[in-house]
Structure 1
Amino acid sequence: MSSTTELAELHELIGNLRRCVTSLAAKYGDSPATRRIVNDAERILNDIDRLDIDAEELELSRGRGVVHPPRVSERIPIPDTQYDTDFWRDVDDEGLGGTR
């Protein structure tokens, strides 16, 4: 079974869960117990939505996804010259080693 089919099945199941939870809340009213069940169902729905977002990562971990080329480290030169004093105007000294 493909992950797309599995995710579609999860969405169908969470839809059924939501309908059951809504029915229970209508039957038993607003109480701490029904609010917990509603919150749990919403949390599960959010987790499944998150799984949809992470599906590509799951495919990558199984070796079926896009292979990204390795990063090439690039050195960025930092000059040794002094910065213009206007660069530091209105900047607070965070105590990085002395006074000015």
Structure 2
Amino acid sequence: MSVHDELTSVQRCLDDLFRSVGRLENQFGSGGLEMRRVKADADRLRESVALLRDAAPGIERPRRPDLVSIPDTPYDNTLWTDSDDEGLGAHDRHAP
């Protein structure tokens, strides 16, 4: 397995762990020392895996798409000379 696959597998396991910890918290309450420690340990694991993912070689980060600027100038009205006004009906017809 590649490093990326291993990290993805670990992330899935962590997600399962967090769901289980949430269910335990519902049963035991969140005020006890034991529950707080389990939650803190799970949070620490998630942070550690995130650091490991950042340090892993060869893993490409998801790229944000390039932004496309849209000008504020009005469009050329001749672009719409052969179309009906959508939602308004045709010029020669009336709504019922």
Instruction: Give the TM-score normalised by structure 1.
Output: 0.55
* Letter of the 1:2 counterpart: S
Instruction: Give the TM-score normalised by structure 2.
Output: 0.57
Runs of 4+ in 1 over 2 A off after TM superposition: none
- Percent identical: 28
Partner residue, 1:38: 39
Task: Tell me the alpha carbon deviations over residues 1-60 of structure 1, each in whole angstroms, 9 at most, x when there is no partner.
Answer: 10010010010000000001111111100211100000000000000000101102xx6x
Gap runs ≥5 in structure 2: 59-96
Partner residue, 1:4: 4
Q: Identify, as 1 or 2, the structure richer in helix.
A: 1
CA RMSD of aligned residues (A): 0.9
Which structure would you say has the larger RCO, counting Cα contacts within 8 Å and 6 or more residues apart?
A: 2
Partner residue, 1:53: 54
Distance 1:24 1:39 in 2: 14
* Letter of the 1:7 counterpart: L
Distance 2:18 2:51 in 1: 17
